[in-house]
Structure 1
Amino acid sequence: MHQYDVVIVGSGMGGLACGTILAKEGYKVCILEKNKQIGGMLQIFVREKVIFDTGVHYVGGLSEGQNLYQLFRYLGIMDKINIRKMDEDFVDGLIFKDDPIIYKYGQGYDNFIRIMLSYFPDEEIAIRTFCDKIREICKQFPLYNLRAGSYEDFGNAYRTDTNAYLESITKNKKLLCVLAGTNLLYAGQPDKTPLFVHALIVNHYIESSWKFVDGGSQIARYLVKEITSRGGKVIKHVNVTKLKEEGGKITYAEAENGEKYFANTFISNIHPVKTLEITESTMFRSAYRSRLKSLESTISVFYANVVLKKNSFKYLNSNIYCFAEEDPWCALNYTEDNWPQGYALFYVPSSKESEFAEGVTIMSYMRMNEVEKWKNTFNTVSHENDRGVEYETFKRKKAELLFNAVEKQFPGFKESIKSYTTATPLTARDYIGTEDGSLYGFAKDYREPMKSFISPGTKIPNLLLTGQNINMHGVLGVTISAVVTCSQLLGMEYLVQKIRNA
């Protein structure tokens, strides 16, 4: 019989961070992962010796004294990870239809303002107002600033539409486009996404921006070492199909092969809807189940991961966001005939220093209904299945359309392609376990700001939730979610003080 203090289902960033926090506090922890590789969206893969990230293409907040830096210090990995600071004057470059200018985001607010003023010299009031508002909102979120406190209701930041706010501070349409232009980082929707989402994410990258050299899986690798060095276990190829409730608490997690894992506390790092599906209990009311099932998820994505010919395509220590219209939200509104309406291009950072790129990842939104006809297939490294010739043809056509769009902005790109692989919403669904391949979990709506907030505690006292649907997505958001989850066992004041003192 396997007996632990805490069993965690899923080894994404949330599960690994919870495991590390609790192992450091003396809990006997076991993490169960269905895939061959741990890490969820921290996973990497290699093609022709080029390392590609599946999800973590860059992070913010890793300069000394910033929030993610301090969290990583507490977790014991800050001095181990191999990171590279991005271009101080060109973290993100925004390109809009028929405009030759690449609008650049700088690191640091003074630098950000200086660069914006070089494009919009008559808009100083709007630019400074925007920056002041972003910082003001961020100060209202205690855990974002590593302070104990509630994050449940901060009024206007929750109840203000991002696009409406931007329209209120400037009549300059191009400036509005630029200030909203990195919304792919949260799958922003005009007339829906609350301003606090935009603020927390934009601030994160303005403060400082970094890439993980040779892949984000190093985070997972070092967290596993932190857990196992304290007697914990991380077990792969364990697909949990049942959380068994008896007498008002979960007694064990049962794997597909019938193996049972017993614990005092269970933490689910898988999707909340999936958690309810595998939990055999009448303690969850049908209204709660229905509410979670009814929540809208953020859109999914199509990826093309491109290996480049040697010395053929210049490396930028930056990211590119390109839009087919003078509209920062247009990428969402594509049709089958005009896809892609926008894309993000991320250069692969390598430990082999070079002025040329080894590879790039290109992303563009894709709805799950586009791959509906293959929804009954399942394909991962652990369970390989061919989705068929028609699916491969579909992916190839989409890749060609995406490459044509990149070629317009970067002439010679297509000639630089050596080989490529693609991924669709089905890939995300099968590896990460989200029913619709959602990019960032539940969508947030300023009209119903609390609807998409999910408590880490459940009606079953020893079953907790963690991950991107509990608080915010991304490495920082999910790490903070882990703190919220673990505070249910350790106490918020105690845990935050430990983090601050690390």
Structure 2
Amino acid sequence: MEYDVVLVGSGFGSLTAAALLVKKGLKVCVLEQAKYPGGCSSSFKRKGYYFETGATTLVGLDHHMPLRYLLDETGTDIPSRRLEPSMQVHLPNGRTVTRYGDLDKWIKEAENAFGEKNQRPFWEHCYQISKQVWRTSLQQRSFPFSNTEDLLFSAVRVRTGQLKLIPGAFRTMEDVLRKYDLLHNKLFTQFVNEQLLITAQNYLHEVNELFGATALCYTLFGNYYIDGGLINLVNPVVEYIRRGGSEVKFGHHVQRIKAATIGYEIATNKAVFRSRFVISGIPLNNTLEIFEDGGLKNKLQKYVLPSEKLNGAFTMGLVLQKMPPPKVLHHQVHVPEGLPVIGSKSIFLSYSHPEDRSRAGAGEIVASVSTHVPHPEESLIQEKSVIEAAIIEVLDSKGLINKESIIYNQSATPGAWIFWTKRAFGAVGGYPQYRDLKPWQMKDARLDHNGAYVCGDTVYPGQGIPGVCLSGIIAAEKLAQDHL
């Protein structure tokens, strides 16, 4: 079976790259080991209910953001509901703060919760950086650089505002809080740390200012809900690929990729495929294992993070009945004493929209619950019931659920993620940000500088749906830049 491009995995990075390459007239084939597309940005059906596989929040539809770029380029329409407010955070002192989408309204909320001192200049500073980061990310699609042509393209696209971002790569969010004399505000630093963990996958002393400001301000951009779950974000992109004469194949677990006389040979559990180009949309840890090229393996090794630097997740899917319709769909709950067994200090809860009858029946709500599990390879969770009970107790005490309202409960550990997704260690959420790893040192889209590329949540920028989408845009751009 011959194609111009074979893509490994159908995560949103792969689907983005595939769709953009189909638009350029290439014949592509996306190989997915599971029975449905989307990877960690999708939904699955169980017991008649639709649960999210991983991500539950959707941003990136605003102007100058990656998802908007993809939809505009492909003419794809995604029916969605805009959420306002997007989230509430339940603090350790018992107070609840609402993450309003309006900057001024949010600043007033933050001042009431954390004290007036320097909240306004801090948030205005972060918001300006986040806007410029998103603009720059789409303008500089040759970044990170890995050849002279990248540098030339970037030089042509450079703008004054982009240069002003450079110092932020050398500062951590800890430095920023220190600058605004907020580092000694314990309640605020706890809030910042747990908010950073959602999108940057790390804490303020490790996350640089560029990623940190963008992570903290994602609620200040459009937040959306898609009826039926994120599978209905994914399916229109799959349909676009197929309408363009290309393919998405399920049940194909890629086991080996080797260079051929021309292009690559990709072997799955079912068949062998040949293509001129290949894009890996699976984590770098897994990508390392499937390429036979020893030289590439050695080069890739320096970018791969071990389990102790990654996060897994403990997730729960609940079906609730006889509950008042939630006014806010997304909640982060601080657990300062830490959850038993795994020790994580916050829980993320997302409800289905009360008007969305495609995920649950009348009078029912689907709730997705997740919490971080550090060093997932070592976290062999055998007593799930202990963690489940603790989470339910916390959510019940905050009035977010009623224990008696639960009619269905399922949970999953990093081990389940390994089984269902094949992701190394069961790691989720992408690579965490670390202060010793500057943006230009992260893995760029080229794997072998011949015809192999990579995208997804473990390469730059690779955080959340907008970041993963951007990684697919960059992979498609560099392939076209190099060969078309």
2:304 corresponds to: 292
CA distance in 1, matches of 2:130, 2:400: 41
CA contact (8 A) 1:95 1:102 kept: yes
CA contact (8 A) 1:61 1:205 kept: no
- Say which SS state the counterpart of residue 129 (structure 1) adopts: helix
CA distance in 2, matches of 1:67, 1:53: 21
Q: CA-to-partner distance for each residue in 1:382-440, whole Å, 9 max, x for gaps? A: xxxxxxxxx5xx22222112111112211762111111111111222233332112222
CA displacement at 1:443 relative to structure 2: 2.1
2:16 corresponds to: 17
The percent of aligned pairs where both chains have the same amino acid is: 18
CA distance in 1, matches of 2:392, 2:75: 41
CA displacement at 1:323 relative to structure 2: 1.1
- Say which SS state the counterpart of residue 280 (structure 1) adopts: coil
1:372 corresponds to: 380
CA contact (8 A) 1:313 1:357 kept: no
CA displacement at 1:122 relative to structure 2: 2.6
Which amino acid counterpart does residue 71 of structure 2 have in structure 1? F
Q: Per the alignment, do residues 20 and 182 of structure 1 end up closer, same or farther by CA in structure 2, a change over 3 Å counting?
A: same
From 245, 250, 257, the equivalent of 1:231 is: 245
CA displacement at 1:159 relative to structure 2: 2.3
1:384 corresponds to: none
Q: Per the alignment, do residues 433 and 138 of structure 1 end up closer, same or farther by CA in structure 2, a change over 3 Å counting?
A: farther
CA distance in 2, matches of 1:430, 1:158: 37
* Correspondence 1:196 to 2:195: no
2:176 corresponds to: 165
**Which is further off, 198-207 or 64-73?**
64-73
- Say which SS state the counterpart of residue 296 (structure 2) adopts: coil
CA distance in 2, matches of 1:65, 1:278: 35
* Correspondence 1:211 to 2:225: yes
CA contact (8 A) 1:142 1:150 kept: no
CA displacement at 1:174 relative to structure 2: 2.7
From 197, 208, 220, the equivalent of 1:184 is: 197
1:387 corresponds to: none
CA distance in 2, matches of 1:466, 1:67: 14
Q: Which runs of 5+ in 1 are unaligned?
A: 374-390, 496-502
- Say which SS state the counterpart of residue 4 (structure 1) adopts: strand
CA distance in 1, matches of 2:51, 2:441: 31
* Correspondence 1:490 to 2:483: no
1:381 corresponds to: none
CA distance in 2, matches of 1:407, 1:267: 45
Q: CA-to-partner distance for each residue in 1:276-328, whole Å, 9 max, x for gaps? A: 2111123326354255255864311101110112x225423331111122xxx
CA contact (8 A) 2:89 2:332 kept: yes
1:439 corresponds to: 428
CA distance in 1, matches of 2:305, 2:67: 31
Q: CA-to-partner distance for each residue in 1:226-266, whole Å, 9 max, x for gaps? A: 0111100111111111101245x642101123x21111111
- Say which SS state the counterpart of residue 363 (structure 1) adopts: strand
Q: CA-to-partner distance for each residue in 1:151-194, whole Å, 9 max, x for gaps? A: 56954322222234224312433334344442232222242222
**Which is further off, 30-39 or 134-143?**
134-143
**Which is further off, 165-174 or 300-309?**
165-174
TM-score normalised to the size of structure 2?
0.86
Q: CA-to-partner distance for each residue in 1:6-30, whole Å, 9 max, x for gaps? A: 1111111011111100001100111
1:130 corresponds to: 123
- Say which SS state the counterpart of residue 372 (structure 1) adopts: coil
- Say which SS state the counterpart of residue 174 (structure 2) adopts: helix
How many aligned residue pairs are there? 458
2:160 corresponds to: none
CA contact (8 A) 1:242 1:253 kept: yes
From 329, 332, 335, the equivalent of 1:318 is: 329
- Say which SS state the counterpart of residue 312 (structure 1) adopts: coil
CA contact (8 A) 1:295 1:452 kept: no
2:82 corresponds to: 85
CA distance in 2, matches of 1:292, 1:281: 16
CA contact (8 A) 1:268 1:275 kept: yes
1:341 corresponds to: 345
* Correspondence 1:362 to 2:373: no
CA contact (8 A) 1:297 1:438 kept: no
